[in-house]
Structure formats: structure tokens, C-alpha cells
Amino acid sequence: MRSTISIAALVAAATGALINMRDEIPSPAPPSAYAFTPPEVTGKPQPIFPAGPPGGLNDSVVPSDIPDAPKNLTGDNKVTAASCSGPVTSSPSSYWMAQMDHTGDARGYAPFLNDYYTFPVWRNVLDYGAENDGSGDQAAAIQSALNNDGRNGNRYSSGVVTAEPAHVFIPGGTYTLNTQLDLRIGTIIMGDPQNPPILKAAAGFSGGTLINGYDSATGHPETSFLTALRNVIIDTTAIDGATSIVALQWGVAQGCVLGNVKINMPSNSARHIGINLSHGSTIAVTDVHITGGAIGIQNSNQQVNFKNIYFKNCRTAYGATGGYTSLLQNVTFDTCGLGVDLTVGEADKLAGNLVLLDSTSTNSGTTVHFTESSTSGNRNNQITIQNLKHDNSNPIAVNSAGQTKLAATNFVDTWVWGNAVPGSFQSGTSHTTTRSSSLVDSGGNFFTADAPTYAGYALDQFVNVKSVSGYQVNGDGATDDSASLNAILAQAAANCKIAYFPYGVYVVKSTLFVPAGSRLVGEAWAVISGAGSTFKNVDSPQPVVKVGNLGDVGVVHISDMRLSVAEPLPGAIILQVNIAGASPGDVGIWNTPITIGGTAETTIRNVCTDQDTSSCMAAFLAVHLTSSSSAYLQNVWIWTADHNLDGGSGYTVISTGRGLLCEATKATWLVGTGSEHNWLYNYNFNSASNVFAGLLQTESPYMQGDGATYLEPAPWVAKSTYGDPDFSWCGVGDGRCRTSVSVNINGGNNMYLYNSASWAFFNGPWSGDYSNSCSGNCQVNMNRVSRTPGKLYWYGTGTKSADVLFLDGKSNPAESNNPGGWGGNMVAYGQFS
Ligand SMILES: *[C@@H]1O[C@H](CO)[C@@H](O)[C@H](O)[C@H]1NC(C)=O
Ligand SMILES: *[C@@H]1O[C@H](CO)[C@@H](O)[C@H](O)[C@H]1NC(C)=O
Ligand SMILES: *[C@@H]1O[C@H](CO)[C@@H](O)[C@H](O)[C@H]1NC(C)=O
Ligand SMILES: *[C@@H]1O[C@H](CO)[C@@H](O)[C@H](O)[C@H]1NC(C)=O
């Protein structure tokens, strides 16, 4: 068992820590040149309805709000029988999103800023004076685009996050930077995907970091939520290779997106680092191409699913200075000196476990260099290598004494070093993992798909949901938009148009139906927020967003949206997916967080402070992948809030019945997902088959365990129709047993799970004191397997503060026998394989 963790370390580690928020705020660096002329953004977008009250939705001030029955669409949007098979691609001269209306009535609008209508959600850095011709120093101009709060103030440390959303667009060209650029939370920073901009360090660059993704105003990296950086090229090639520089500092948290990014460093560099993920709790880093540098990625983040990372000419591609569980999925080491370095962590900060999956080493040195820590103290640096292609005579795994532990071979099926079940610690044991054909591409790799940018589509392929003739859509955080949006989505799908949601809070008091043929994309994580009596009956739960009907087959893509509840809704299933793709990736959801509390648009941030969580049963179920569905989810974070991002009460005590329920059997891919603080479980695979999961990150609710006001399943009732765990295996009064199951496997077949990160920090009650961690272990069981699944492979599990890693009725492996990482470490769990 792990020795006592210092309070400071725990606080820094706990997602949600909001301690000493003000202590860490450096004085904001005023932009030297604030001489921008942003586009004129005045007047509230029409139609005019009262803005949502600052405290969130208040039924008594919501206008009686179902709008008139929608009129039939006119002109271009008129319904015709669908003869189209999808939106039409072309070679548009400029990017559709830049061409959208960002100043008129149909623009994005942030309704929770006290009637402040001129806040610009959309920002094009050229409007802020940035030059894209490689000249001068553009740091101040780009910084002002990130900081501008539209009223001569600064979004940095303004005290709100989701109330001031921004979408910063960087057109193509070269932007020279002489000083560090600091990104801001609540912001999507997006280069033009048709012509990605280059953010280039000047030869005379001053500082150790070019782009800093961590917003220090949020306190800790673990609470630096909701920052996206996409479609950019970061370049340090003008700086001497002997000078220390980090191209991108990415110590950030859940809800962040790093995707479709290139990093170019000098290839003879001794001291450039591509990405420094030091601290933080982010869950997905996807589609990154890194050239040159001393180290491509340096990581000590709690847990990450790295996906599609191409390292070219890096001295060391990936170096771990920590990280409790890390998945390197579909990674290529191309002409790199060393693939993975697991020898550089400090003694107590070694990597817990690492899985190298579906990867390729070509023309490179040793693939994995690692310090063996199996025999002394914590068992860290546990490794699984699976489906590796390798093309030279250099060894694959070498320990720090220089001894080869896995010699060169051109293919590795599965090789394990670390705690394993059945059996015990394995020191380089080979296995075979037989994959389900429904989950893999033609090369045998688990299928993955990029988030769409729609770069190949011209503006006429899009429908702005706020500018459809005959339909009133408000996005004002108060008015029910469901009738109009339902009509618009139906017509958009029938006409093969992509539905664009400018930022807004779109309240829906009836289910929003997303039919086959739909593509939804948001600006700055536009919000769909359930509200009202439809979603309050715990005995008849209803979907807020329903994707397809049972048995449907077709295409649905959703990206850059956020789904929420405007008030406690004990009968809400926030997202229900019924539809199956005909081909992998046809149904996909990317970069779309689901938040329950904690944000500007919900009354939950003020009303949920009672330890009696029966007064705040905020949603029945966050995500339901039903039995007929087949979907790909990437970077989807389900967050039942433990604190507020936009002010309100100092802490929040919420009970969301269930996290993610998967009952799908055809094929399901979960890449870089997280599910936190949900009551009965965070993930439940109930008779599910053909599932790939790369990272399942969870935290148990902070108010459970010893001292809890309610013991599981109360205040909820376990329902067998939903496959709920009923905790019948626990003593009646055993609070440490009656705690949320991190990942519950109930029967099923062909499940391939990688890198579970299951953390418990606190016992009840919850009052926002992040220094008051539970004493000893917080809970008895972390994960659970029941009803003997047909085939279950589970690689790279980390647990924190639980007695038992897997309650399976067979081996019930304990943290005390399987130490490492943050408490428990299990690199290969094959009890049912
Ligand atoms: C809702 O608004 C009414 C009228 O402004 C006010 O009296 C009431 O206190 C508000 N309720 C909440 C929960 O904020
Ligand atoms: C809408 O179109 C349908 C079918 O063409 C028609 O029956 C209906 O009357 C129209 N409604 C309105 C409000 O024009
Ligand atoms: C990586 O980030 C951490 C802060 O999170 C910092 O202490 C460290 O110096 C960084 N590494 C480099 C090389 O800048
Ligand atoms: C793996 O990544 C490469 C880019 O490095 C990409 O071309 C390929 O499609 C990816 N394969 C899968 C299965 O995602």
C-alpha cells in the first residue's frame, strides 16, 4: 500500500481542487499593443427575449415559452424528400466557420453575462491586429484576442469560465512570437484547417515556453478545464537546438482538447521539448505530428489516451516523468533515437503503467527503455506492448542496466511486464489477444476517427440554427427552443445540411431528436440544456438529446457541443444514442462534454449544497448507448460537478444517478473518455459486446463512504431494467462498500478495455475542503465484474484508495497485493479472457 501522500500532492491531484485560487494569480501582463479593432458587435441578437438570469434558469422568470408552432421552412430550407446522401464536398476558398455571421443577429451570444450583449464569442486574430506574414511580434495581438472581455477588461481571472465562452480563429499564415502566449480556459483556439497557421518562435524569443495551455487563474492544472487547441503548427526551428524551450505546455484538465496539431523542432536539438504535460488530468491528446526535438512529449499527467501521434526525428519520442496510467495508441516512432523513456521519473513519480498499443517503430532505436521497480517499493513502470510493428534489429525493451528484456522481432502480439491476474507479477510474458473483427480496421488496429472540421464543405452546406426562416431559436438560456430545433434538425438531415450552433444556451423542455443524417457542430461548446417537468419523473426517465430511434442505421456526427441540465432533473437521460453506423465512424461524438452542475447556465450551482442528496438528484443517467447503437466517442467527459466554475456556492453536492451505460453489442469505441462523481457507477457495461475503450477515467463521488448521508443505492433505487448494481454484496451499514462502482461489467462479450484510471479521494460529507482526504482507503471495491463475461481483456488499470481493484468473485485482486501508480496497479487483467 502506498505511504501517506502529502496533502499538497493530494490537493494538486484531486480534480476539482480550487484551493488558493487567488494565490496563484500572477499580475496579468497587459498587452503592449492593445490597439485592436474587433468587429462591431452591438445589440442583442434578435429575437429579443429576456436573458437567462445570472443565477441560472428560474422557472418563475422564464416566459411561458413554447413558441408558436413552427412554420414550414421556406426557400432553400424547404423540405424535400431526401435524395441526397450527405453534404457535398468541394474545395471552398475559405473556411466555412470564418464565413458565418459573427456580428449580426445569428451570431453566438453568451446569455449569462448580465445582459451584456456585446461580448464577442467569435474572435478572428486578424481583427485584433495580428499579422500573418511572419513579421514583427504577434504575441500581444493574439493575446488580446484571447483576453478580450468586450468591455475593456480581461477574461483572465475574471472569475467566470462558461459565462464568457470564446472561439478564437487563427487564419493561415505565419505568426511570429517573441514572448509566450497564454491560452485561456473556456476557449476554443482553432487554426484554419484548410491552411493551418504557423505559430513560430522568433529567433530572439524570450522565455522557456512558446504556447502555455495552462491557465493559472484556475488554480491548479487539474482544474484548467475546457481549453481547446486545434489545427495549428507550432514551430521552434528558429531557436538554437541547445536552448531550452517547450513548444507547448499542456498541464491541463478534463474537457480540454489538443488535436490536429503539428510541432516542428530542430532535428539536432538537445533541449527542445514538444509538449510538456506536467501535472494535469486531461484525458485525450489526439492526432499530433511531432518532428525533431530532444523529447517529443514529456508526460506526468494523471492519465491520458494519446491517439495517433507521429514522432519523426525526435531524440526521445516520449518521456514519462510520472503519469499513473498512459495509453499510447497508434503511435509511430519514425527515425527516433528512443521510443519510450521510463527511466527519468523521480523515485516516487515513476509512471504507474503504460500501454503501447497498435504502434509502429520504424528505423528507430530501442522502443522502450525502463527502470525495473518490480522488486523494491512501489511497482511502477508496468508495461503492456500490444500489436507493435518493428522493423530493425534494435531491441524492443531494455532495462536501465542495459539488459534486453524483449529482443527485436517484427511483430509483438501482447507482452506484459507487471501485476497480472490470473497469476502474479509477470516479467516480460507474451500473450495473445484475439480481437473482435467489428472493432478493427483492415490492418487489425482498433478503429479511430478524427473529429470533423468540415473543411471540405462550402458555406452553403451549413444551416445556422439561429437563422432558419420561419423558426425562432433563441439560445438565451431561458426560452424553450425544442420545437424549433426539432424542426430544424429534421429538415437539415433531410436536406443533408450540417447544423451549426452558434454559441448559446439552447434550453429544451422536450426531447431534442437528432435523426439519421444529422451533423451538429458548435461554436465554443454551444450548450443544449434540458429543463422542465418532462425530465423530472424518476420512474419514467426521458432523453434530453436522443440520437436516432431504436434500430436506426445511418450517420450522426456531433462535435464541439456541451450538454447540460438547467436544474436538477431526476428523470433526465442527458444523451441517448440508439442509432448504429453502417460503417465504423458513421456515428461519432467528439469533444463534447456533458456537465451536471458547476456551470453558469444551471440553478444547480446555487441550489445543491445540502448533504442530503435526495434534494439534488440532478440526472437519471448521463449517457446511454442503447442495445441497438454502434457509436464512436472521443474526448467525451461526463462531469457531475464538485465545485462551480462560474461562482455561486463554494461547493456543490450533487447526485447524478448513473454515468455512462453501454448496452451496445455491434461495436462501440470509447477513446479518451472520463466519467466523474456519478452515484451508482461511472461506467456500466451491461450485456455489452464488442467494446473498445482507450482510457476510462473516473472519480468516486466525494460525499460517499464513511460519513455519507446516504449509502448506496439511496437516494436512488437500483433498477434491474437498467442493469444497475444493487450493492447486495455489501453489509447494510457498510459505507465504504456502498460507494460508486468505477467500471461495472455485467456479462457481455468481446470487451477490450485499456487504461482505467479509477480514483477515490474523499469520504463524506462534502464541503469543498480538498485537504480533507479520506483516511486510509476511501472505499472497498473499485471495479466490478459479474455474470461471467464471455471475453474480457483489461490492460493498464490504476486505482487510488480502494481495497479491491476488481470485485469479480474469483480473485478479487487487492491494492495491497498489486501496488503501484497511485495505489493499485494492474497491467493485465485476464480473469475472463
Ligand atoms: C426566481 O425569480 C423570482 C422573481 O424574480 C424570485 O423571487 C425568486 O427568488 C427566484 N428564485 C430563485 C430560486 O432564484
Ligand atoms: C406545412 O406544410 C404541410 C405539408 O405541405 C401543410 O399540410 C401544412 O398546412 C403547412 N403548414 C403551414 C403552417 O403552412
Ligand atoms: C514542465 O512543466 C512543469 C510545470 O508543470 C515545470 O515545472 C517544468 O519546468 C516544465 N519543464 C520544462 C522543461 O519546462
Ligand atoms: C494511425 O495514425 C496515422 C497517422 O499517424 C493515421 O494515418 C492512421 O489512419 C491511424 N490509424 C488508425 C487505425 O487510427
Distance of CA 507 from the midpoint of ligand 2 (Å): 26
> Per-residue confidence at 38, pLDDT binned at 50, 70, 90?
low
Residue 445 beta carbon below 6 angstroms from any ligand 4 atom: yes
Neighbours of 217 (CB within 10 A): 22
Predicted pLDDT of residue 43 = 62
Give strand ranges (E) for 509-600: 512-514, 518-530, 542-547, 556-565, 569-577, 587-590, 594-596
Beta carbons of 631 and 664 less than 8 angstroms apart: yes
Is residue 47 over pLDDT 80? no
Residue 747 CA, distance from chain mean position: 27
Beta carbons of 448 and 669 less than 8 angstroms apart: yes
Buried b (16+ CB within 10 A) or exposed e, 786-796: eeebebbbbbb
User: What cell was used for 522?
Assistant: 458548435
> Per-residue confidence at 14, pLDDT binned at 50, 70, 90?
very low
Nearest CA to ligand 4 atom 12: 448
Residue 45 is given by DSSP the state P
Distance of CA 471 from the midpoint of ligand 2 (Å): 14
> Quick one: which ligand is closest to 692's CA?
4
Predicted pLDDT of residue 650 = 85
Distance of CA 609 from the midpoint of ligand 4 (Å): 46
**pLDDT tens per residue, range 191-231:** 999 999 999 999 999 999 999 999 999 889 999 999 999 99
Is residue 332 over pLDDT 80? yes
Beta carbons of 626 and 574 less than 8 angstroms apart: no
Predicted pLDDT of residue 375 = 58
Beta carbons of 445 and 426 less than 8 angstroms apart: no
> Quick one: which ligand is closest to 79's CA?
2
Among 72, 77, 469, name the best residue to mutate to test ligand 2's pocket (greatest count of ligand atoms within 8 A of Cβ): 72
Predicted pLDDT of residue 113 = 87
With CA atoms as reference, report the closest residue to 270 among 248, 288, 293: 293
Predicted pLDDT of residue 16 = 38
Residue spans of alpha helices (H) in 615-654: none
> Quick one: which ligand is closest to 68's CA?
2
Atom of ligand 1 nearest to the CA of 56: 14
Neighbours of 123 (CB within 10 A): 27
Distance of CA 60 from the midpoint of ligand 1 (Å): 6
Residue 460 is given by DSSP the state G
Residues 300 and 309: their CA atoms lie apart, in Å, by 17
First and final C-alpha spacing in the chain:
27
Torsion angle of C-alpha atoms 33, 38, 43, 48, degrees rounded to 10: -120
Residue 75 is given by DSSP the state G
Atom of ligand 1 nearest to the CA of 58: 1
Select the more confidently predicted residue: 84 or 686: 686
Among 60, 608, 616, name the best residue to mutate to test ligand 1's pocket (greatest count of ligand atoms within 8 A of Cβ): 60
Cα 233 to Cα 248, 289, 308, 311, 339: the distances in Å are 11, 9, 16, 14, 22
User: What cell was used for 224?
Assistant: 484548467
Residues 315 and 263: their CA atoms lie apart, in Å, by 14
Residues 207 and 174: their CA atoms lie apart, in Å, by 20
Predicted pLDDT of residue 231 = 98
Residues 396 and 407: their CA atoms lie apart, in Å, by 6
Predicted pLDDT of residue 74 = 41
Distance of CA 468 from the midpoint of ligand 4 (Å): 38
**pLDDT tens per residue, range 154-201:** 999 888 999 999 999 999 999 999 999 999 999 999 999 999 999 999
> Per-residue confidence at 344, pLDDT binned at 50, 70, 90?
confident
Neighbours of 611 (CB within 10 A): 15
Atom of ligand 3 nearest to the CA of 244: 13
Is residue 235 over pLDDT 50? yes
Look at the block and give the residue holding cell 470564446. Answer: 166
Mean pLDDT computed over 379-403:
97
Residues 532 and 48: their CA atoms lie apart, in Å, by 22
Look at the chain and count its residues.
833
Residues 712 and 374: their CA atoms lie apart, in Å, by 37
Residue spans of alpha helices (H) in 56-95: none
Domains and CATH numbers, the chain: 459-759+779-829 (2.160.20.10)
Radius of gyration from C-alpha coordinates of the chain = 25
**pLDDT tens per residue, range 687-716:** 999 999 999 999 999 999 999 999 999 999
Beta carbons of 325 and 350 less than 8 angstroms apart: no
User: What cell was used for 278?
Assistant: 506536467
Name the percent of the chain lying above pLDDT 70. Answer: 89
Is residue 49 over pLDDT 70? no
Atom of ligand 2 nearest to the CA of 69: 13
Q: Could you tell me which residues come within 8 angstroms of residue 423 by beta carbon, excluding any fewer than 6 positions away? A: none
With CA atoms as reference, report the closest residue to 664 among 617, 616, 624: 624
Average confidence score pLDDT of the chain: 90
**pLDDT tens per residue, range 587-605:** 999 999 999 999 999 999 9
Cα 36 to Cα 110, 143, 175, 191: the distances in Å are 21, 11, 16, 19
Is residue 68 over pLDDT 60? no
> Per-residue confidence at 41, pLDDT binned at 50, 70, 90?
low
The ligand 2 site (C-beta within 6 Å) comprises 71-72
Select the more confidently predicted residue: 640 or 47: 640
Residues 661 and 683: their CA atoms lie apart, in Å, by 6
Residue 207 beta carbon below 6 angstroms from any ligand 3 atom: no
Q: Provide long-range contacts, Cβ within 8 A and 24+ apart, for 807-816.
A: 807/729, 807/781, 807/783, 808/784, 808/832, 809/785, 811/421, 811/422, 813/419, 813/421, 815/1, 815/777, 816/1
Buried b (16+ CB within 10 A) or exposed e, 24-34: eeeeeeebeee
Residues 219 and 561: their CA atoms lie apart, in Å, by 25
**pLDDT tens per residue, range 73-132:** 443 434 444 568 899 999 999 999 999 999 998 999 999 987 677 899 999 999 999 999
Is residue 3 over pLDDT 50? no
Buried b (16+ CB within 10 A) or exposed e, 409-432: eeebebbbbbbbbeeebbeeeebe
> Per-residue confidence at 377, pLDDT binned at 50, 70, 90?
low
The ligand 1 site (C-beta within 6 Å) comprises 55, 58, 60-61
Predicted pLDDT of residue 350 = 77
Distance of CA 18 from the midpoint of ligand 4 (Å): 38
Predicted pLDDT of residue 34 = 34
Is residue 630 over pLDDT 70? yes
Name the percent of the chain lying above pLDDT 90. Answer: 85
Atom of ligand 4 nearest to the CA of 310: 5
Mean pLDDT computed over 351-356:
96
Among 180, 215, 249, 271, name the best residue to mutate to test ligand 3's pocket (greatest count of ligand atoms within 8 A of Cβ): 249
